Amino acid sequence: MDAQRAKEIYESADNFKVRLDSGEPVWIEDVDVAGGVATVQVGQSPTDVRTVGVEKLEEVSH
């Protein structure tokens, strides 16, 4: 995924299914477009927060 799409998903009122390239579902919490990174919550654990390159994010088609 590119940084702009990650930002669009983050700012959208709609819900989008996103996962890491490892297959783990994530919730985007913030996006740094200039840096090309996103802060994500992994799975349902609010304490499992990671900063990853946006290229590691995949939008899951419905």
In CATH, what number is assigned to the domain containing residue 24?
2.30.30
Give the strand order in the sheet containing 57-59: 49-53, 37-42, 25-32, 18-20, 57-59
Mean pLDDT of the chain: 95
The string of pLDDT tens digits covering residues 37-62 is 999 999 988 899 999 999 999 999 85
- Cut 0.85: pTM above it: yes
Query: Where in the sequence is the domain holding 46, given as residue range(s)?
Result: 3-59
Q: How far is CA 56 from CA 13, 28, 38, 39, 51, in A?
A: 23, 12, 10, 12, 10
Nearest alpha-carbon partner for 23 in 46, 56, 45, 47:
56
Number of domains in the chain: 1
24-42: average pLDDT: 97
Of all residues in the chain, what percent carry a pLDDT higher than 90? 90
Average pLDDT on 20-47 reads: 95
**CA 11 to CA 7: how far, in whole Å?**
6
